Amino acid sequence: MELGLVGLGKMGGNMRERIRRAGHTVVGYDRNPDLADVHSLKELVDSLKGPRVVWVMVPAGAATQSTIDELGELLSPGDVVVDGGNSRWTDDEKHAEELKAKGIGFVDCGVSGGVWGLENGYALMYGGAADDVAKVQPVFDALKPEGDFGSVHAGKVGAGHFAKMVHNGIEYAMMQAYAEGWELLEKVDSVTDVREVFRSWQQGTVIRSWLLDLAVNALDDDEHLDKLRGYAADSGEGRWTVEAAIDNAVPLPAITASLFARFASRQDDSPQMKMIAALRNQFGGHAVENAKK
Nearest to 215 by CA among 202, 226, 228: 202
Is the confidence at residue 114, as pLDDT, over 90?
no
For 129-140, what is the mean pLDDT? 98
Q: What's the confidence (pLDDT) of residue 266?
A: 79
Going from the C-alpha of 71 to that of each of 4, 42, 53, 92, the distances in angstroms are 11, 8, 11, 15
Nearest to 125 by CA among 103, 140, 104, 146: 140
pLDDT tens profile 241-269: 999 999 999 999 999 999 999 888 777 67
Is pTM beyond 0.85? Reply is yes
Q: How far, in Å, CA of 112 to CA of 99, rounded?
A: 25
For 139-167, what is the mean pLDDT? 97
pLDDT tens profile 74-87: 999 999 999 999 99
For 160-171, what is the mean pLDDT? 96
Question: Which band of pLDDT confidence, cut at 50, 70 and 90, is reported for residue 126?
Answer: very high
Question: Which band of pLDDT confidence, cut at 50, 70 and 90, is reported for residue 232?
Answer: confident
Catalytic residue ranges = 164, 171
Q: What's the confidence (pLDDT) of residue 220?
A: 98
- Name the average pLDDT for the chain: 95
Give the contacts of 104 (CB within 8 A, at least 6 positions apart): 71, 72, 75, 76, 77, 78, 79, 80, 81
For 175-196, what is the mean pLDDT? 97
Is the confidence at residue 4, as pLDDT, over 90?
yes
Question: Which band of pLDDT confidence, cut at 50, 70 and 90, is reported for residue 293?
Answer: low
Q: How far, in Å, CA of 23 to CA of 283, rounded?
A: 27
Is the confidence at residue 289, as pLDDT, over 90?
no
Instruction: Provide the percentage of residues in the chain whose pLDDT is more than 70.
Output: 99
